[in-house]
Amino acid sequence: MAGKRYLFTPGPTPVPPEVLAATAEPVLHHRGPDFKALLAETLEQLRQVCRTENDVLLFTASGTGAFESAVANLLAPGDRVLAVSQGEFGERWQKLATAYGAEVIPLAYEWGETPRAEDLAAALAETPADVVFLVHSETSTGVVADIQSLTAAAKETGALVVVDAVSSLGAVPLEADAWGVDVVVSGTQKALMSPPGLALATVSAAAWDRAERVTTPRFYFDWRRYRKALDAGSTPFTPAVATVAGLNAALTLILQEGLENAFARHAALGRACREGAKAMGLELFSPDEERSAVVTAILTPEEANAKELVLALRERHGITVAGGHGDMATRLFRIGHIGWFDVFDITTALAAVELVLADMGAPIERGVAVTRALEAYAAPVTAA
Ligand code: PLP
């Protein structure tokens, strides 16, 4: 059918009609009382989703803007940071901190590996750092890290902990306060099922203390400006007011579903996707574990170039999945399942992948993926 489109990427993600409708409301003036009430409510909803009592700052920027805000406000040239990387976004922390003149100690894993708290503890014992940067869900590989144990290892040494939760917030459990995370950064276009355009950072008392002392030049992302404006119920610069309205509607839906229910749904979606892919004979690149609930990274059989698969899915069936980053581009594709997703999105994606791979002459088993995905969605896999 002409024009029918399916968005199965790990961001941007599909946006529910209630959220789209909210973004289409008449534009509010950002200094007026209506917007102030909307902003206050949205920040309170975000505190609930991040499970924090800390300040939440909202930027009109993509997720990387919130990354940059954390680096600019927490690091002065020469400060020592440890950035754990297991893919594209951990490497982004390293590049950003380097750009700001920090001394970066990398704790680098192969793409697809899961970081370990004991490695972090050992690295920090050898070279202490002022700030530790972590990635919760590494969207390039599908690995979801154990932020609780990594944060505990970093806190032992007194370092501040900053977590990239751009693709995980709202999809997998994250307890900012209970786990002691100083700064959580995220964006709207992933599990928060809103259009792209807003990013957020939660800031703990210890992070504020450091931000006050750091002398690094900053302006648009100067956290102090956001706090001052918040005291007057506003933002320092004109925010994307329509996207704030959409985010508010999306967070209302998420909180109505209940965070625990949303986490369980995402775990079931991930499980369905992995089991369906394996049933047709594909090899997973992302870990085969319940926690891998954000995006499933799958290897194509040797016969099938992943770039061609991604292209054919879009051109023949109107389906957008994500390709692989860098060296993995010809072997890897990724099906995202965060935000406004249900099991029929998974079965649609798997059915189309099966069709295209079969057309490409790949040796896959046909007719089993959808059934297996539906079974796995309904019941956790039990060990044989
Ligand atoms: N971190 C993670 C884990 C991501 O998935 C992304 C985007 O895909 C980013 C950071 C960067 O966010 P943005 O593209 O909104 O700047």
- Substitution candidate for ligand 1 out of 60, 86, 166, 189 with most atoms within 8 A of CB: 166
Neighbours of 209 (CB within 10 A): 12
Residue pLDDT, tens place only, 353-368: 999 999 999 999 999 9
- The pLDDT-based confidence of 2 (bands split at 50, 70, 90) is low
Cα 134 from chain centroid (whole Å)? 12
**Nearest-atom index, ligand 1, CA of 135:** 3
Q: What is the pLDDT of residue 327?
A: 79
Nearest atom in ligand 1 to the alpha carbon of residue 168 is: 3
For 28, 104, 110, 121, 132, the CA distances from 107, given in Å and listed in that order, are 45, 9, 10, 11, 10
- To the question of pTM greater than 0.75 for the whole model, the response is yes
The answer to whether the CB of 141 is under 6 A from ligand 1 is no
Alpha helices in 200-342 (DSSP H): 205-213, 223-231, 241-257, 259-279, 306-317
Question: Taking 70 as the threshold, does the pLDDT of residue 70 lie above it?
Answer: yes
| 8 Å CB contact between 35 and 232 | no
CA distances to 92, 153, 301, 307, 317 from 311, in Å = 27, 43, 16, 6, 10
Q: Is 294 in the pocket of ligand 1 (CB under 6 A)?
A: no
Query: In the structure, what pLDDT confidence band is assigned to residue 3 with cuts at 50, 70 and 90?
Result: confident
Report whether 114 contacts 287 (CB < 8 A).
Answer: yes
Radius of gyration of the chain (CA): 21
Any idea what the Cα angle at residue 278 is, between residues 272 and 279, rounded to 5°?
Answer: 85
Q: Tell how far the Cα of 351 is from the centroid of ligand 1, in angstroms.
A: 28
